[in-house]
């Protein structure tokens, strides 16, 4: 199972919106509405930000939103804040109780 | 408060074995699937294995099949990963992660709590 493809880096100024893409295949992202997104600050454990493509766990800011079209999922961060600077990973269910993560995207707040 | 605390990492020679543990608290452990996810130094997350709440079913990433065994002791609220025939490419921080609740009608297939991880270094 190959890793899902994400851009290595995305940057934006405070207050702007950015979008991170996550491209898989018809065997993972394209087959299931089971894409999740994780935020990871340096030296910290990952934090769930989005699950089932669009759902936000309790406590996650509504500045974070998810979507999917075909084999590509996306995470949008609106009203970018300094605290959003982190690594972001997508993850897709890939069938038979297996999962595949994305390559990761470093978000920089300019 | 949900807490996951991994232990058991360390330095091991290629071909060696190691057993990781993950002590869980703050939730009904036996009701949730649990996974191991690893992260090589400076690299991204890689899913390794998952086990159902009752321990009856286990699944693995292809590169660890036949070498790693996931298990759990629900009486001790502890998750394990037995790693045999270790290779240099297994070097990583290993996180345990709690899955969102999976029912007959809804199974979100995502991980809502993660431990800080334990470092496994495979080197001679």
CB within 8 Å: B44 and A36: no
Condensed to tens digits (0 to 9), the pLDDT of residues A10-69 reads 999 999 999 999 999 999 999 999 999 999 999 999 999 999 999 999 999 999 999 999
| Residue B59 C-alpha, separation from nearest chain A C-alpha, in angstroms | 6
CB within 8 Å: A55 and B114: no
CB within 8 Å: B45 and A46: yes
Q: Which pLDDT value is given to residue B32?
A: 96
Cα–Cα dist B59/A80, whole Å: 38
CB within 8 A of A19, min separation 6: which ones? A10, A74, A75, A76, A77
Cα–Cα dist A23/B14, whole Å: 34
Cα–Cα dist A104/A40, whole Å: 10
Q: Which pLDDT value is given to residue B107?
A: 85
CB within 8 Å: B109 and A103: no
Q: How far is CA A70 from CA A25, A51, A108, B71, in A?
A: 9, 17, 27, 36
Residue A79, pLDDT above cutoff 90: yes
Q: Which residue of B has its CA nearest to A100?
A: B47
CB contacts under 8 A, A 31-60 vs B, are 32, 34, 36, 38, 40, 44-48, 51-52, 55, 57
> Residue A44: its chain B contacts at CB < 8 A?
116
Q: Are B96 and B22 in contact (CB under 8 A)?
A: yes
Q: Which pLDDT value is given to residue B47?
A: 98
CB within 8 Å: A1 and B115: no
SS (H, E, C) A41-101: CCCCCCEEEEECCCECCCCCCCCEEEEEECCEEEEEECCCCHHHCEEEEEEEECCCCCEEE
Q: Which pLDDT value is given to residue B71?
A: 98
Strand partners for A51? A55
If you write DSSP's letter for every residue of chain B in order, what string do you get?
--EEEEE--EEE-TT--EEEEEEEESS-GGGS-EEEEEE-TTS-EEEEEEE-TTS--EEE-GGGTTTEEEEEETTTTEEEEEE-S--GGG-EEEEEEEEPP--SS-----EEEE---EEEEE--
Cα–Cα dist B109/A27, whole Å: 15
| Residue B76 C-alpha, separation from nearest chain A C-alpha, in angstroms | 23
Residue A10 parent element (H or E) = strand A9-12
CB within 8 Å: B114 and A36: no
| Residue B20 C-alpha, separation from nearest chain A C-alpha, in angstroms | 17
* The two structure tokens encoding residue A92: 């897709």
Ranges of residues in chain B whose predicted pLDDT is under 70: none
Q: Which pLDDT value is given to residue A65?
A: 98
Mutate to test the interface with A, among B92, B110, B113, B118 (most CBs of A within 10 A): B110
* The two structure tokens encoding residue B41: 């130094």
CB within 8 Å: B45 and A89: yes
């Amino acid at each position: 199972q190959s890793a899902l493809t994400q851009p290595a880096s995305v940057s934006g100024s405070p207050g702007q919106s950015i979008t991170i893409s996550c491209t898989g295949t018809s065997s993972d992202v394209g087959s299931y509405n089971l894409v999740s997104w994780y935020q990871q600050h340096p030296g910290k454990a990952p934090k769930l930000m989005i699950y089932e493509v669009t759902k936000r766990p309790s406590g996650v800011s509504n500045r974070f939103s998810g979507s999917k079209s075909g084999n590509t999922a996306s995470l949008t961060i609106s009203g970018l804040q300094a605290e959003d600077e982190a690594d972001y990973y997508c993850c897709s269910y890939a069938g038979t109780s297996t999962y595949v993560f994305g390559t990761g995207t470093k978000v920089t707040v300019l | 408060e949900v807490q996951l605390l991994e232990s058991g990492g360390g330095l091991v020679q290629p071909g060696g074995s190691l057993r990781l543990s993950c002590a869980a608290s703050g939730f009904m452990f036996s009701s949730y699937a649990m996974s191991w996810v690893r992260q090589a130094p400076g690299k991204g997350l890689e899913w390794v294995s998952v086990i159902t709440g009752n321990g009856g079913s286990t699944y693995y990433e292809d590169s660890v099949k036949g070498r790693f065994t996931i298990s759990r002791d629900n009486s001790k609220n502890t998750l394990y990963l037995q790693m045999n025939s270790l290779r240099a490419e297994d070097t990583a921080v290993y996180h345990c992660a709690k899955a969102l609740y999976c029912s007959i009608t809804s199974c979100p297939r995502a991980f809502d709590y993660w431990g800080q991880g334990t470092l496994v270094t495979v080197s001679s």
